[in-house]
A and B are shown apart, each in its own frame.
Chain A
Amino acid sequence: MNLRWYHFLLWAAFAATLMLMPELVSKGTLRTMIFACYLAIFAVSWDLLSGRTGYISFGHPFLIGIGAYTTAILSKRFDVPLELSIPIAVVVTMIGGLIVLLPALRIKGSYFALVTLAYMELIYQLTQVVRPDLTGGTRGISGIETLTRGAVNGYYLAATLLIILTIFSWALMRTRIGTALWAIGMNEESVRGSGLSTTKLKCFAFLASAFVAGLGGAFYVHYLGSIAPRALFDINFLFTILVAVLIGGAGTIIGPVMGAFFLVFLLEWLRPWLPGAERYFIYGLIALVIYMYEPKGIIRIFSNLLGKLRGANK
């Protein structure tokens, strides 16, 4: 695992900061942070799968959506209690993860990205056409049972989930499996050459990613209280997740979390000044410029700054 004392310190500081937020900021800001937490969970999930292995998923909303829709349908249409419907949703999402894995056994890179994009488009169209009595068709489902009420409770739940999932993912990536996944991203053949089963490794990455996506998606829908195909299986949703990861720094777990918070806050801070479509324009431009300036993300910008400071001190 290669743990150091400062790892514990940093994670404790991270958790403490998140947990202290309700004392420090207004309820309106907390609401914004809840969205940031969920986006961060989705970004971490994406990072588990794509950040290291080089299998770029453009269909992540596919997985999140499966989780969200499963528990929404079970609890709303069949009155399944949430304690049961959420675990089922996670399992179903992991099965969905295996479906995404299938093409990954043969294709890579841009091709893989495209198949996953096709998955997302396919499920977008299917949720509207197949069994609209269950999925609610285009209008989706409203009035889904929520886990909490109020900004503070909702925030504690989202933040706790985020902290647990991030530490879980981070620890996972520090094991030998994580290193092997890196190696797949670098050179899959050589990993195979060294006697490891790449299929097993990939299978593991996909399942871990789907687990986080399913859990995040299920809690997300029970926070929102409503679900609609256009809100989930949408290129804009995909866009937010991807940009959060990449602005933050792919392959680092904590980078995507930073990216998610940065983006959500950027969008909300622009609101009072630019209420309309201008907001998305400026938001997109800022994302593009940061990304072009440092494709390795904010985390790299920080570590560079830190490096420079250290260099100046010497």
Chain B
Amino acid sequence: MTQIIIQGLLLSGLYALIAMGFMLIFSIGRVLNLAYGAYLMVGGYVYFWVSQQLGLPQIIGIAAATMMGVIMGLLKHRLIVKPLKGDHVAVEISTLILAVVMQAGVVLVFGDASKILLPIVPGVTQIEGAAVTYNILVAAIISWIIIIGLYVFVRNTYTGRAMQAVSMDEKGAAISGIDPDRVNLITWGISGGLGAVGGVFFASYTQLSPTMWVGPLIISVAIVIVGGIGSIMGTLIVAHIIGFLEVIVVAKLAPELRGVFTMLLIIFVLVLRPQGLFGREEAH
């Protein structure tokens, strides 16, 4: 039992971090950034290149990955989202194409073979009979720091509140003097950075591979959809629901059905309560 709680908490923290960046874009622009998984992938590979192939300190690797994520987010907003003038379907399709292009790019540069990252902090400890690596512990703690930081930022800074305003009512926000375009740009940047950092941790859990963008994208989609629009708390709670669901299915039910339950959850929630469990009511 304690094992399940510990393993569930650790996995859920990681999922929450991954989903945050996706949730931000979905809340502010109402668009699904299907290239979000590619941020994670590129973040992971940049970290691998800097810290493992070039042998620079890990912190520089993480910083480089974050920078790369922010730049990608900004570029994506300027080159794709803005020219398409908020046509949701067009943005979704073009981000999907972009993700596939980036996958081919990664194969081109790094090849097909999967790679395992060295632990960011090596070592392992036993907590209540559950083996926990320091790496995962650190990943979970950093996830929480980032999530709390994000919460404080959105709640207490001018930019953060502007983001909330745009998320609720873009026209209204524009009337009250907020530049929605700028807010959007900033959000895409932050989302990219969060995605890339999440990617480093996700990859340190699992592996680097050119197809690794699909898994976390689906997890993010599930969390954000079930959680609902515009709620950091909702995202956090649902990340835990999905994280624990996975751990319990694996430990107590049938490990091969791990993904099936997540998909069923998405379908049921969307059909029965389209605004998500914790989201605002939306008029389509």
Contact = CB atoms under 8 A, between A and B. Distances in A.
The answer to A–B direct touch (Cβ < 8 A) is yes
A117 B112 CA distance: 25
A281 interface: yes
Contacts, number: 107
Contacts of A122: 260, 263-264, 267
Given A109-B284, A277-B107, A284-B100, A292 B84 contact: yes
Interface string A103-136: 1001111110111011101100110010000000
A129 B256 CA distance: 7
Contacts of A22: none
A30 to B, nearest CB: 27
A3 to B, nearest CB: 30
A117 to B, nearest CB: 7
Nearest to B96: A239
A278 interface: yes
A115 B104 contact: no
B96, B97, B260, B284: most-surrounded residue (chain A CB, <10 A):
B97
A171 interface: no
B264 A292 contact: no
B97 A114 contact: no
B20 interface: no
A107 B87 CA distance: 18
A36 interface: no
B93 A292 contact: no
B108 A281 contact: yes
A20 to B, nearest CB: 33
A258 B216 CA distance: 34
A284 B271 contact: no
- Chain A interface mostly: helix
Contact of A118 (B30, B93, B100, B266): B266
B270 A235 contact: no
- Chain B interface mostly: helix
Interface string A269-305: 0000000011011001101100110010000000000
Interface string B209-230: 0000010001001100100000
Contacts of B104: 277-278, 280-281, 284
A62 B271 CA distance: 18
Contact of A235 (B214, B259, B263): B214
Given A102-B271, A243-B97, A125 B263 contact: yes
B47 to A, nearest CB: 22
A237 B89 CA distance: 18
Nearest to A56: B89
Nearest to A250: B89
Interface in A231-259: 235-236, 239, 242-243, 246
Contacts of A126: 260
Contacts of B103: 280
Interface in B19-48: 30-32
A242 B92 CA distance: 11
Interface string B252-272: 000011011001101100110
Contacts of B93: 242-243, 246, 291
Given A119-B267, A292-B83, A292-B94, A114 B32 contact: yes
Contacts of A295: 84, 87, 90
B249 to A, nearest CB: 12
A110 B88 contact: yes
Contact of B225 (A56, A111, A121, A239): A111
A284 B101 contact: yes
A280 B83 CA distance: 24
B271 to A, nearest CB: 5
Nearest to A54: B89
Given A129-B256, A242-B96, A291-B93, A114 B270 contact: yes
B75 interface: no
A110 B31 contact: yes
Given A121-B263, A129-B257, A235-B214, A113 B32 contact: yes
B160 interface: no
A56, A122, A246: most-surrounded residue (chain B CB, <10 A):
A122
B98 interface: yes
Contacts of A117: 218, 221
Contacts of B94: 288, 291-292
A287 B222 CA distance: 28
A239 B97 contact: yes
Given A115-B270, A118-B266, A110 B30 contact: yes
Nearest to B218: A121
A103 B88 contact: no
Given A103-B271, A281-B104, A288-B94, 11 more contacts: A110-B32, A114-B221, A117-B218, A122-B260, A125-B260, A281-B105, A284-B101, A291-B94, A292-B79, A292-B83, A295-B90
Which 7 A-B pairs give the minimum distances between C-beta atoms? A284-B101, A281-B104, A280-B104, A122-B263, A277-B107, A118-B266, A107-B274
28 contacts: A56-B92, A103-B271, A107-B270, A107-B274, A109-B89, A110-B30, A110-B92, A111-B225, A111-B270, A113-B32, A114-B32, A115-B267, A117-B218, A118-B270, A125-B257, A235-B96, A242-B96, A243-B97, A278-B104, A280-B100, A280-B103, A281-B101, A284-B97, A284-B98, A291-B93, A291-B94, A292-B83, A295-B87
